[in-house]
Amino acid sequence: MATLFKDVYIADGSREKAERVHLLVSKGRIASITSANENPPSADKIISGRGKMAVIPGFVNAHTHAAMVLLRGLGEEAPLMEWLQNKIWPVEEKLTPEYIYWGTLSAMLEMLASGTTCFADMYFEMEGVAEAVLGAGMKAALCRGITAGEPGKIERSLQNNIELAEKYHGREGLITIQLGPHAPYTVPLEAMKVITDAAKSKGLGVHFHYLETEGELRNLGHDPVKYLADTGLLDVPSLTLAHAVYLDPEADIPSDNVTLVHCPCSNLKLGSGIMPLPAWLERGMPVALGTDGASSNNQLDIWGEMRTAALLHKGANKDPVCITAIDALRMATYEGARAFGFSQKGMIREGWFADLVLVNLDKPHYIGVNDENLAAYLVYAGSSADIAGTMVNGRWVYRNGEYPTLDREEIVQKAREAREAMTTR
Ligand code: NI
């Protein structure tokens, strides 16, 4: 079935100006983009924009722990390590595969409504997460969070992560799998080498928390670049470093196989600090955006991260041009897709996957919008409340408050029950 977006604006992270076009979606892809001044192509279904709708690429949440929506609100306003050790880890002990499954689905309701078409998730019991993703028809980059613990735990987690890759990597074009060593402070150096050897031999990427806090930098015990080199992390097929608040932009980090994930709201809320984003962008480092888990953000809204990132660095650097709205849009869409091996995703281009967000511009805060200023309107005036629909591979997964592929009532009920079971003594 072909869907025509008739006379809509398109904007993405590669266009200096928005364009007013007819955009045809067919067979899961953007089939054609033609000027709105021309006659529109025919289609089975027509969405008439009349210049009051925009189509942008679906957002990619490049770092989260989706099922942590079940832990939202626990231990608010505490430093990272205190929060993890006293509030989060004890409740996480009570998580079951079933809770994680429903928690992930509940997170997906939030993400789809806020325009996210793909999320990079590090957690455990990931088979259920993969099944939830396939059932919803969403895209995801999944890894099993690997941490040290009782003897043999790292080995078992790694094996579990590898089995996840064997079963799900590339499934239906919706899922990619990475290896997920949690962080330098939860995985000993020697075990990191075993994990990076596995990544190299299996051809898998690695998703890793790195230098989120100043304390982590102090305790690392190595030069940060030397740590990445010595552990083999710089030699894996692709490396995604979540947070990187304390990584020096002068550091010799390759930009071809490494992507940083900026999580501004989580870093602000936990008082971790501010990543030196403008310097990374200046040197051409790929940087994507992530929310981190809902218990440290507390939203799963990449549109909000986009706005926060753009504002935060202008203020912190006393420089209103150090990050542009188009930079923010590119970080929120294309960079995350690229980092996790989703090709032809994250830009509005003919032949690329129709992973799209439909934005309603027929609202008071869009008065005055035009092709020159659309990106700035979206980032600074807009919000995910303007989203009229979210599409993955040409199929609606969220449309006008409804979820065509998910049972919202059941998911909310099951997630609520899981939360109660975990927090009631
Ligand atoms: Ni995280």
pLDDT digit string, tens, across residues 199-247: 999 999 999 999 999 999 999 999 999 999 999 999 999 999 999 999 9
The answer to whether 157 and 147 have CB atoms below 8 angstroms apart is: yes
Q: Rounded to the nearest whole angstrom, what is the distance from the C-alpha of residue 270 to the centroid of ligand 1? A: 12
Q: Rounded to the nearest whole angstrom, what is the distance from the C-alpha of residue 39 to the centroid of ligand 1? A: 48
79, pLDDT greater than 90? no
**pLDDT band for position 80 (50/70/90)?**
confident
Q: Rounded to the nearest whole angstrom, what is the distance from the C-alpha of residue 122 to the centroid of ligand 1? A: 7
Q: Rounded to the nearest whole angstrom, what is the distance from the C-alpha of residue 87 to the centroid of ligand 1? A: 15
Q: Rounded to the nearest whole angstrom, what is the distance from the C-alpha of residue 307 to the centroid of ligand 1? A: 20
What count of Cα atoms within 13 Å lies in the side-chain half-sphere of residue 2? Answer: 14
Q: pLDDT (tens digit, 9 = 90+) per residue, 250-300?
A: 999 999 999 999 999 999 999 999 999 999 999 999 999 999 999 889 999
What are the residues whose beta carbons fall under 8 Å from the beta carbon of 211, sequence distance 6 or more?
A: 217, 220, 224, 241, 243, 244, 245, 246, 247
- Tell me what pLDDT residue 295 has: 87
- Tell me what pLDDT residue 1 has: 87
Measured in degrees and rounded to the nearest 5, phi and psi for residue 292 equal 65, -175
CB count in 10 Å sphere of residue 24: 22
Question: Measured in Å, how far apart are the chain's first and last C-alpha atoms?
Answer: 51
Q: pLDDT (tens digit, 9 = 90+) per residue, 5-39?
A: 999 999 999 999 999 999 999 999 999 999 999 99
Instruction: List the one residue out of 80, 88, 288 whose CA is nearest residue 185.
Output: 80
297: preceding bond cis by omega (within 30 degrees): no
Mind listing the domains of the chain with CATH numbers? Answer: 3-58+347-399 (2.30.40.10), 59-339 (3.20.20.140)
Q: Rounded to the nearest whole angstrom, what is the distance from the C-alpha of residue 121 to the centroid of ligand 1? A: 9
Tokens for 211, please give them. Answer: 């230098």
Q: Rounded to the nearest whole angstrom, what is the distance from the C-alpha of residue 294 to the centroid of ligand 1? A: 10
What are the residues whose beta carbons fall under 8 Å from the beta carbon of 59, sequence distance 6 or more?
A: 114, 115, 116, 117, 118, 289, 302, 303, 306, 332, 333, 336, 357
- Tell me what pLDDT residue 110 has: 98
Q: Rounded to the nearest whole angstrom, what is the distance from the C-alpha of residue 145 to the centroid of ligand 1? A: 10
Q: What is the average pLDDT value for the chain, to the nearest integer?
A: 96
Q: Rounded to the nearest whole angstrom, what is the distance from the C-alpha of residue 309 to the centroid of ligand 1? A: 17
> Counting beta carbons within 10 angstroms of the beta carbon of residue 355, is it exposed (0 to 12), middle (13 to 18) or buried (19 or more)?
buried
Cα 394–Cα 108–Cα 177 angle in degrees, nearest 5? 80
Q: Rounded to the nearest whole angstrom, what is the distance from the C-alpha of residue 399 to the centroid of ligand 1? A: 29
Mean pLDDT of 178-207: 97
Bridge partners of 3, per DSSP, are 25, 45
Q: Rounded to the nearest whole angstrom, what is the distance from the C-alpha of residue 209 to the centroid of ligand 1? A: 6
How much of the chain, in percent, has pLDDT values that exceed 90? Answer: 94
Helix H, strand E, coil C: the string for the chain is CCEEEEEEEECCCCCCCCEEEEEEEECCEEEEEEECCCCCCCCCEEEECCCCEEEEECEEEEEECHHHHHHCCCCCCCCHHHHHHHHHHHHHCCCCHHHHHHHHHHHHHHHHHCCEEEEEEEECCHHHHHHHHHHHCCEEEEEEEECCCCCCHHHHHHHHHHHHHHHHCCHHHCEEEEEEECCCCCCCHHHHHHHHHHHHHHCCEEEEEECCCHHHHHHCCCCHHHHHHHCCHHHCCCEEEEECCCCCCCCCCCCCCEEEEECHHHHHHCCCCCCCHHHHHHCCCCEEECCCCCCCCCCCCHHHHHHHHHHHHHHHHCCCCCCCHHHHHHHHCHHHHHHCCCCCCCCCCCCCECCEEEEECCCHHHCCCCCCCHHHHHHHHCCHHHEEEEEECCEEEEECCECCCCCHHHHHHHHHHHHHHHHCC
Q: pLDDT (tens digit, 9 = 90+) per residue, 334-369?
A: 999 999 999 999 999 999 999 999 999 999 999 999
Q: Rounded to the nearest whole angstrom, what is the distance from the C-alpha of residue 267 to the centroid of ligand 1? A: 10
Q: Rounded to the nearest whole angstrom, what is the distance from the C-alpha of residue 123 to the centroid of ligand 1? A: 9
What count of Cα atoms within 13 Å lies in the side-chain half-sphere of residue 309? Answer: 34
- Tell me what pLDDT residue 77 has: 81
Instruction: List the one residue out of 140, 231, 131, 132 whose CA is nearest residue 177.
Output: 140
400, pLDDT greater than 90? yes
* CA 48 to mean position of chain CA atoms: 30
Q: Rounded to the nearest whole angstrom, what is the distance from the C-alpha of residue 216 to the centroid of ligand 1? A: 14
Bridge partners of 180, per DSSP, are 145
Q: Rounded to the nearest whole angstrom, what is the distance from the C-alpha of residue 67 to the centroid of ligand 1? A: 12
Phi/psi-derived region of residue 418, left when phi > 0, alpha when psi is between -120 and 50, beta in every other case: alpha
- Tell me what pLDDT residue 48 has: 98
**pLDDT band for position 425 (50/70/90)?**
low
Measured in degrees and rounded to the nearest 5, phi and psi for residue 137 equal 75, 30
**pLDDT band for position 75 (50/70/90)?**
confident
Q: Rounded to the nearest whole angstrom, what is the distance from the C-alpha of residue 292 to the centroid of ligand 1? A: 5
The answer to whether 88 and 74 have CB atoms below 8 angstroms apart is: yes
Instruction: List the one residue out of 423, 415, 425, 424 whose CA is nearest residue 98.
Output: 415
d(CA 312, CA 423): 35
Q: Rounded to the nearest whole angstrom, what is the distance from the C-alpha of residue 284 to the centroid of ligand 1? A: 24
Q: Rounded to the nearest whole angstrom, what is the distance from the C-alpha of residue 34 to the centroid of ligand 1? A: 41
Q: pLDDT (tens digit, 9 = 90+) per residue, 123-140?
A: 999 999 999 999 999 999
pTM above 0.85, yes or no: yes
Q: Rounded to the nearest whole angstrom, what is the distance from the C-alpha of residue 214 to the centroid of ligand 1? A: 16
Q: Rounded to the nearest whole angstrom, what is the distance from the C-alpha of residue 35 to the centroid of ligand 1? A: 42
